[in-house]
């Protein structure tokens, strides 16, 4: 069969080794004669899996003891609500939402149900390219309780590579499309959250890294399954978790360790994206509209100079064995997501196709 590579933004490609392990263990996990998806989340075997997964996560990201790791339901979107609900003392409290793109803006819109977020646009455009102001220029409020931002906008393909350093406010980051793509200085953050269907496995799980001093009883009514303190007190198992997503995440963390950890995976991610950006920039047929310093290395949108060829590009790319290249509808064009599981071979195949297509239809 023609080898197929999946560039989908999420649910996204999994490493072949992980998929194979899921298949092999599906009927007989842990030599128990039953499947991991049919045993109790409270069984000692599943608890052991969880304990290890959390420890692997801590090892990979070098998470300090002063932080708790929570596994939640509801995708990153549930966190758009959970964050203001858990943190705010009253709805009049000042909170800053940095607008870098689609997801950051959507987080702010959801927060409006609970407070009056100050939405701070930091995206500009120069010579046709979008850029993000340096953090020192962000017009954050002096007295805000927290600042929410999204370091990598999955849809727009724009990224913030500086790490915020605010000692007087809680920094909350939606790291859905970058967590585990490279090392991160956890100490700079109050809450980091990431939905799993990109670099952590399959959908249904959202991981949270939260500073322990923030695990307080909320000031308002919060549904128990979104209450960080209840989740922490119950080992993230206040109700029955999405055990299959937790299981796949546990395999992903093990796989990442066998790949050499986050420094090594980051090196590969940089290499893959540099190759693709170079192919786009040198083509005269494709273009990307993000300034060099803010280009995402995880999600790479690109456009055809002649957008009438879009449908043909997608049709032929699928025949060539390249899946999931259609850009998000709000941006249009194409998008290649190069998460950890995407191999260099896959990126090279995409570049080969792009070249052949441009030669054919130039």
Q: Which residue in the block uniquely carries the two structure tokens 């990431």?
A: 194
- Smallest distance from the beta carbon of 30 to ligand PMP, in angstroms? 28
Point out which residues pair with 206 in neighbouring strands: 72, 195
Q: Which residue in the block uniquely carries the two structure tokens 């950006």?
A: 277
- Annotate 171-191 with DSSP letters as a single string: EEEE-TTTTTSS---GGG-SE
* Residues whose CB falls within 8 Å of the CB of residue 120, separated by 6 or more in sequence, listed in order: 96, 97, 98, 99, 138, 139, 140
Separation between Cα atoms, residue 246 and residue 259, nearest integer Å: 20
Q: Give the binding site for ligand PMP (CB under 6 A).
A: 10, 75-77, 103, 150, 154, 174, 176-177, 195
Per the document, the length of the chain is: 362
- Smallest distance from the beta carbon of 19 to ligand PMP, in angstroms? 20
- Smallest distance from the beta carbon of 325 to ligand PMP, in angstroms? 16
13 vs 76 by CB, closer to ligand PMP:
76
Point out which residues pair with 115 in neighbouring strands: none
21 vs 163 by CB, closer to ligand PMP:
163
- Smallest distance from the beta carbon of 153 to ligand PMP, in angstroms? 6
Is the CB of residue 295 less than 8 Å from the CB of residue 289?
Answer: no
Which residues form the catalytic set? Answer: 103, 174, 198
61 vs 76 by CB, closer to ligand PMP:
76
Separation between Cα atoms, residue 67 and residue 183, nearest integer Å: 16
150 vs 342 by CB, closer to ligand PMP:
150
């Amino acid at each position: 069969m023609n080898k197929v590579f999946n560039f989908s933004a999420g649910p996204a490609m999994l490493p072949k080794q992980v998929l194979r392990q899921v298949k092999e263990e599906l009927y007989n996990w842990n030599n128990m004669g039953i499947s991991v998806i049919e045993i109790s989340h409270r069984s000692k075997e599943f608890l052991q899996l969880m304990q290890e997964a959390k420890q692997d996560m801590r090892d990979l990201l070098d998470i300090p003891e002063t932080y708790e790791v929570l596994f939640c339901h509801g995708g990153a979107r549930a966190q758009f609500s959970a964050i203001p609900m858990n943190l705010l003392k009253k709805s009049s409290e000042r909170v800053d939402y940095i607008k870098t793109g689609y997801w950051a803006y959507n987080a702010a819109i959801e927060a409006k149900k609970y407070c009056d977020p100050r939405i701070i646009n930091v995206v500009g455009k120069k010579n046709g390219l979008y850029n993000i102001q340096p953090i020192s220029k962000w017009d954050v409020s002096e007295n805000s309780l927290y600042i929410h931002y999204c370091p990598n906008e999955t849809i727009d393909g724009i990224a913030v590579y500086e790490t915020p350093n605010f000692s007087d406010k809680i920094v909350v980051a939606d790291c859905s499309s970058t967590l585990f793509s490279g090392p991160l200085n956890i100490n700079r953050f109050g809450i980091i959250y990431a939905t799993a269907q990109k670099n952590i496995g399959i959908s249904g799980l959202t991981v949270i890294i939260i500073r322990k001093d923030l695990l307080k009883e909320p000031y308002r009514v919060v549904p128990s399954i979104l209450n960080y303190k209840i989740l922490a007190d119950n080992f993230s198992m206040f109700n029955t978790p999405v055990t299959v997503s937790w299981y796949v995440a546990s395999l992903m963390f093990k796989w990442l360790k066998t790949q050499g950890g986050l420094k090594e995976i980051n090196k590969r991610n940089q290499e893959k994206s540099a190759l693709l950006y170079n192919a786009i920039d040198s083509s005269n047929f494709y273009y990307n509209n993000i300034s060099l310093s803010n280009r995402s290395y995880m999600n790479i949108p690109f456009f055809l100079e002649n957008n009438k060829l879009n449908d043909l590009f997608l049709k032929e790319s699928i025949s060539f064995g390249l899946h999931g290249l259609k850009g998000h509808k709000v941006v249009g064009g194409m998008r290649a997501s190069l998460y950890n599981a995407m191999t260099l071979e896959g990126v090279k195949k995409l570049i080969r196709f792009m070249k052949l297509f441009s030669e054919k239809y130039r």
